[in-house]
Amino acid sequence: MSKSGSERRAHRRVAARFALSGTPDAGHVARMVASNLSMAGLQCTSSADFPELTRLAVRLELPVDGQDSSTAAVDIEAVVVRREESESSSSGEGRFRLALFFTKVDDTAKRRLASYLEARGAAHASSMS
């Protein structure tokens, strides 16, 4: 039995804000905005509603070298593991908070994710000093 409130995640989450898109097997492309990322998944907001267990083809638009103006596409397969409806905001951002678990990540995508997370983690650690 695990202790109540103990961290069960195998991968550290890093605060991150970047655009991504998700496409279900039979559906339209939905634009989303990430709020955090790990090697295993991410949390995001979406204006499109996806029920839990929906499989999505996901394209992350990861900033390159800390430059928000330059991005690299990373394609991953994921499944929605949590969905919460939130009050819509006046900024036009998503009405749904989603947690996505990565189900298929090729070697190139793993390297790009690891590089991005390492850079974000190092930046976060140096800002904490």
Could you read off the pLDDT of 35-58 as tens digits, one per residue?
Answer: 999 999 999 999 999 999 999 999
Task: Let me know if residue 9 belongs to a domain.
Answer: no
Task: Let me know if residue 85 belongs to a domain.
Answer: yes
Q: Radius of gyration over alpha carbons of the chain, in Å?
A: 15
Asked if the model's pLDDT at residue 1 lies above 50, the reply is no
Q: What tens digit of pLDDT does each residue of 113-124 get?
A: 999 999 887 555
Domain count within the chain: 1
Structural domain of 35? 14-128
Asked if the model's pLDDT at residue 73 lies above 50, the reply is yes
Task: Let me know if residue 58 belongs to a domain.
Answer: yes
**What CATH number is associated with residue 70?**
2.40.10.220
**HSE of 90, CA atoms in CB hemisphere, 13 A:** 0
Task: Let me know if residue 33 belongs to a domain.
Answer: yes
Task: Let me know if residue 47 belongs to a domain.
Answer: yes
Q: Give this prediction's pTM.
A: 0.82
Asked if the model's pLDDT at residue 127 lies above 50, the reply is no
What is the model's pLDDT at position 92? Answer: 56
